[in-house]
């Protein structure tokens, strides 16, 4: 699958587009406005510039030449696989999949979501081809982290899952694991309660953010602490995943702490806004 489409050119969308283009694919990225498209292109240029400086790619210009950033979903008409990477909002994703079903004309195209928590079934059933809809969940930063979660719904065809696996592992050079279509899949179902527990510990005054994170780095060999990781993920994304997990399982460990909600309301979302549990 050399004709790749990506919807959204934020951190995740840009990363997916970059990895696909670096592997030789021809990528069309669609953003919601000209302003967002310019910001997405600048993000790609900066990331590929760093990769070239580190010797990870021979020519950033050659990779960028295989990426087109557009503002019209019709540009995805001939794509063989389209990955949705927009805001973690169920209504927005459902509306987009309805539109992708109309726009993408390749009869065997895979319509994939990079959602970290929303059930894939809810996206598949609004299309005329739920057997070709599945989750293909990358991890941030996409050019660095090797894992991809493959998430078929009850209606996803086995051939769709295997074609997605071949693309992820054979073309992109990632490593895939299989997940059931449950909120959080594998990684976030384990990770988010851990992060929420760290937030509750800080919120209660039991320990500072720095002591919590240093404890996990120095005492458990984690590459970074849970609060620094939350800042990297984005506190709005952490909250969205927590809400989705709690709605599905009704377990207290999935409930978002009040501090997290207040920080999201205040726009303190972590690295992407310059301030979260730490200042950047």
Q: Which residues are annotated as a binding site for CoA?
A: 47, 54, 116
Q: Give the full edge-to-edge strand order of the sheet including 3-7.
A: 67-70, 26-30, 3-7, 81-84, 110-113, 133-138, 147-152, 175-178
Residue 137 designated active-site? yes
149 is catalytic: yes
DSSP 217-240: HHHH--SS-HHHHHHHH-HHHHHH
**Is 116 annotated as catalytic?**
yes
**d(Cα 220, Cα 241) in Å, to the nearest integer?**
25
How far, in Å, CA of 134 to CA of 132, rounded? 7
Question: What do you get for the CA distance between the two ends of the chain, in Å?
Answer: 39
3-state secondary structure of 3: strand
Active-site residue, selected from the candidate residues 113, 117, 153, 188: 188
- Label residues 231-249 b or e (16+ Cβ within 10 Å = b): bbbbbbbbbbbbbbbbeee
CA–CA separation, 171 and 45 (whole Å):
22
DSSP 151: E
Q: Which of 18, 149, 153, 244 is catalytic?
A: 149
Distances (CA, A) of 263 to 19, 79, 89, 193: 32, 39, 18, 18
Is 188 part of the annotated catalytic residue set?
yes
From the list 23, 116, 117, 153, the catalytic residue is 116
Residue in 23, 137, 153, 244 annotated catalytic:
137
Provide the annotated binding site.
47, 54, 116
* 63 SS3 class: helix
Measured between alpha carbons, how far is 168 from 24 in angstroms, rounded to an integer? 13
- For every residue of 153-199, DSSP letters joined together read -TTS-HHHHHHHHIIIIIIS--EEEE--SSTTTTHHHHHHHHHHHHH
Contact by Cβ (8 Å): 269, 230: no
Q: Return the active site residues.
A: 116, 137, 149, 188
């Amino acid at each position: 699958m050399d004709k790749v489409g990506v919807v959204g050119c934020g951190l995740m969308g840009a990363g997916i587009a970059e990895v696909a283009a670096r592997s030789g694919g021809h990528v069309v990225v669609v953003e919601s406005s000209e302003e967002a498209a310019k910001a997405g292109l600048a993000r790609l240029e900066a990331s590929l510039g760093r990769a070239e400086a580190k010797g990870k790619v021979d020519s950033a210009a050659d990779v960028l030449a295989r990426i087109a950033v557009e503002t019209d979903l019709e540009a995805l008409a001939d794509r063989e696989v389209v990955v949705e990477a927009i805001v973690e909002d169920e209504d927005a994703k459902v509306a987009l999949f309805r539109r992708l079903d109309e726009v993408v004309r390749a009869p065997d195209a895979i319509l994939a979501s990079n959602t970290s928590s929303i059930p894939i079934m809810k996206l598949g059933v609004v299309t005329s081809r739920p057997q070709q809809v599945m989750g293909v969940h990358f991890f941030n930063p996409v050019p660095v982290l090797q894992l991809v979660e493959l998430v078929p719904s009850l209606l996803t065809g086995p051939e769709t899952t295997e074609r997605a696996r071949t693309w992820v592992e054979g073309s992109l050079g990632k490593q895939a694991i299989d997940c059931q279509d449950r909120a959080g899949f594998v990684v976030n179902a384990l990770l988010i309660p851990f992060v929420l527990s760290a937030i509750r510990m800080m919120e209660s005054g039991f320990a500072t953010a720095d002591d919590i994170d240093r404890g996990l780095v120095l005492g458990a060999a984690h590459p970074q602490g849970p609060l620094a990781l939350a800042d990297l993920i984005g506190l709005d994304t952490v909250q969205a995943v927590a809400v989705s997990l709690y709605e599905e399982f009704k377990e207290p460990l999935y409930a978002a702490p009040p501090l997290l909600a207040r920080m999201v309301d205040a726009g303190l979302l972590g690295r992407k806004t310059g301030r979260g549990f730490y200042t950047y």
